[in-house]
Amino acid sequence: MPPLRHNDSSGRPVPNRRRQAQIAMAEAEARKRHQQMKRPRPSAIDADAKKPTPLLLRILSILGVMLLCFVLGYLGTSWVVDFLNTKLFLKPENRIENQEDLSNFEESERTQAARNAIMNGANVQQISLNIYHIQDDALAETRKNFLALTREDNIRDAVNEIILMSNVPHADRIKLLHVFRVNDTAFLDMPGQFASALNAMGKQKSLLLITGIVRTMEENFSPLSQVRFLIDSKTPQSGGTVDLSSVWKLPKKS
- At 3-28, the pLDDT tens digits run 444 444 555 555 567 777 777 777 77
**What is the DSSP code (8-state) at residue 151?**
H
Give the rounded distance of the alpha carbon of 119 from its chain centre. 45
Is residue 231 classed as helix, strand or coil in its secondary structure? strand
Whether the predicted pLDDT of 168 surpasses 60: yes
Residue 178 included in any domain: yes
Residue 17 included in any domain: no
Residue range 53-77: mean pLDDT, rounded: 82
Lowest mean pLDDT across 54-68, 84-98, 115-129, 214-228: 84-98
Lowest mean pLDDT across 3-7, 85-89, 136-140: 3-7
**What is the DSSP code (8-state) at residue 234?**
B
Beta-carbon count within 10 A of 107 CB: 16
Residue 136 included in any domain: yes
What per-residue string of b and e applies to 25-46 under the rule 16 or more CB within 10 Å gives b? eeeeeeeeeeeeeeeeeeeeee
Residue 53 included in any domain: no
Residue 113 included in any domain: yes
Residue 238 included in any domain: yes
Residue 86 included in any domain: no
Residue 36 included in any domain: no
Domain that holds residue 221: 103-249
Residue range 109-117: mean pLDDT, rounded: 59
Counted domains in the chain: 1
**Global pTM exceeds 0.75:** no
Compute φ and ψ for 228, nearest 5 degrees: -120, 135
